[in-house]
Structure 1
Amino acid sequence: MRFLKDFFRVFYPKICVGCFNELLSSEKILCNFCSNDLPLLELDDHSNNIVTNSFFGRIKIEKAISFLSFHKKNTTQKLIHELKYNGRQEIGTSLGLWFAENQKDGTFFSNIDYIIPVPIHPKKMRKRGYNQVSSFCKSLSEKFNIPVLEKVLTRGKNSSSQTSKNRLERSKTIENDFTLNHSEEIKNKHVLLIDDVITTGATIEACCKELLKTPNLRISVLSIAFTAHT
């Protein structure tokens, strides 16, 4: 068994997603240097921070938070790319566990009834085989004992990539993208909507507008990463 491990380590070394150097046997996904350098967003005030305030005047939410800061070519972008396009679901699991550890006091999750991942289009699901936020959601679900509802929202359009579009263009593109199902299940509840990256917030806004057709629903928002606009 040790021989096989050494063989695969020589010919198929584990590579750090951040710096592309070979990982030590004790390291996973990121080397210690890149892990220590990862741009964490430490937002203690959940109801008044850059993520929550980005939705002010647009949609009613209870609170919002993101784990990492995202900008082009930083380690966060590399992690999200690997998670989203290269089948690296273990990245979502690892980030979920890391975020949960940072939130071990549980205050952000204390009154959440359900977790709802932002859905992807069925065509993308068939091609990719998974929703990029599912493993992140599952880690949080297991840590805080909150059920995940994956069928409350469905996505009906196969929208083109949103990365090069501004807020107005994104809003128009994804308008009426989402459909609410089984609304009785979340009536009078507090749900946590989770996405991979919040850039303009247009996707979260579109999801919230559909979810808020449910009577007496409260919504909070969490993303793996947030793009700060300067």
Structure 2
Amino acid sequence: MNLFFPEVCEACNNSLSDNELVICTNCRHQLPVTNFHFDNSEAVKKIIYGRVKLENATALLHFSKKGIVQQLLHNLKYRGHQQISGFFGKWLGAELSTTKDYRIIDVVIPVPLYKTKLRKRGYNQVTKFGIEIAKALKADYNDTVLVKTKSSTTQVFKGRLTRWNDDGALFSITERESLKGKHILLVDDIITTGATVEACASVLLKIDNIKLSLATMAIAD
């Protein structure tokens, strides 16, 4: 099969060797790793400081326009290359499982897509990322409790203050009882302004006595 359909690196499109998966060794060494969860960095938390309370927050990689991470996320979101999501999930999950702050996570919840976008794309790009992290942390994975109730395309041209007031209406929760008192890890592909995380968190934090942390594939520089 490799003779006719060779597996190639998702970043550079060169053929992968037998011991390489998804990303070649050379490209992996070029990835701008953050190490936030090892350095106790609060870079991600600062993005939404004063808006929602997070126990811990991290991102695996730095994202910059026209960079290698943008190429990978583009392949994941628009070209159906879901193996990238699982690859990042295994990577970050393995690292988080060595840190005490994340070993106490009870359940992993992905940021959901609106139903029309999910049908069009055919998958949520964060699903495999979240599943692999949940496996590594020995936590539950729940992709049904948090639901996106309307499209956010009209939000693009709104300022942060406006989104702060009404973004919570974009999401709802289907039930609360099973999550009471849990430590939830919300996962997403990238954090930029923090508006999406804020909208999800504002709904999840209505559940009694929960703690909320965040993990993303990338953080925009």
For the pair 1:69 / 2:55, whether they are aligned, the reply is: no
Contact 1:52 1:63 in 2 (8 A): yes
Correspondence for 1:219: 212
Change (3 A) 1:20 1:76: same
Contact 2:168 2:200 in 1 (8 A): no
Q: Secondary structure at the match of 2:76?
A: helix
Structure 1 gap ranges (5+): none
Amino acid at match of 1:24: S
Contact 1:117 1:195 in 2 (8 A): yes
Amino acid at match of 2:79: N
1:182 and 1:132 mapped to 2: Cα distance?
A: 24
1:134 and 1:163 mapped to 2: Cα distance?
A: 24
The number of residues matched between the two structures is: 220
Amino acid at match of 1:66: A
- Superposition TM-score, scaled by structure 2 size: 0.90
What is the CA distance between 1:161 and its match in structure 2?
Answer: 8.3
Amino acid at match of 1:128: R
Correspondence for 1:122: 115
2:165 and 2:74 mapped to 1: Cα distance?
A: 25
Contact 2:109 2:143 in 1 (8 A): yes
Correspondence for 1:209: 202
1:5 and 1:164 mapped to 2: Cα distance?
A: 46
Deviations 1:7-43 (A, max 9, x none): x1xxx33332222333333322222211100000111
Deviations 1:86-116 (A, max 9, x none): 1111111111111123334142322111111
Change (3 A) 1:80 1:142: same
- 1:40 pairs with 33, 40, 60, which one? 33
Correspondence for 1:198: 191
For the pair 1:146 / 2:135, whether they are aligned, the reply is: no
Q: Secondary structure at the match of 2:27?
A: helix
What is the CA distance between 1:163 and its match in structure 2?
Answer: 7.4
Contact 1:92 1:135 in 2 (8 A): yes
Structure 2 gap ranges (5+): none
Contact 2:110 2:188 in 1 (8 A): yes
Deviations 1:28-81 (A, max 9, x none): 2222211100000111244x5211222211111111011010111111111111
What is the CA distance between 1:169 and its match in structure 2?
Answer: 6.6
Matches within 5 A, 1:2-21: 4-6=1-3, 8=4, 12-21=5-14
Change (3 A) 1:77 1:212: same
2:26 and 2:72 mapped to 1: Cα distance?
A: 15
- Superposition TM-score, scaled by structure 1 size: 0.87
Q: Percent identity?
A: 37
- 1:133 pairs with 126, 131, 135, which one? 126
Contact 2:105 2:137 in 1 (8 A): no
Correspondence for 2:49: 56
Change (3 A) 1:126 1:57: same
Change (3 A) 1:27 1:45: closer
Q: Secondary structure at the match of 2:28?
A: helix
Deviation larger for 133-142 or 95-104: 95-104
Q: Secondary structure at the match of 1:69?
A: strand
Q: Secondary structure at the match of 2:133?
A: helix
RMSD: 2.2
Change (3 A) 1:32 1:167: farther
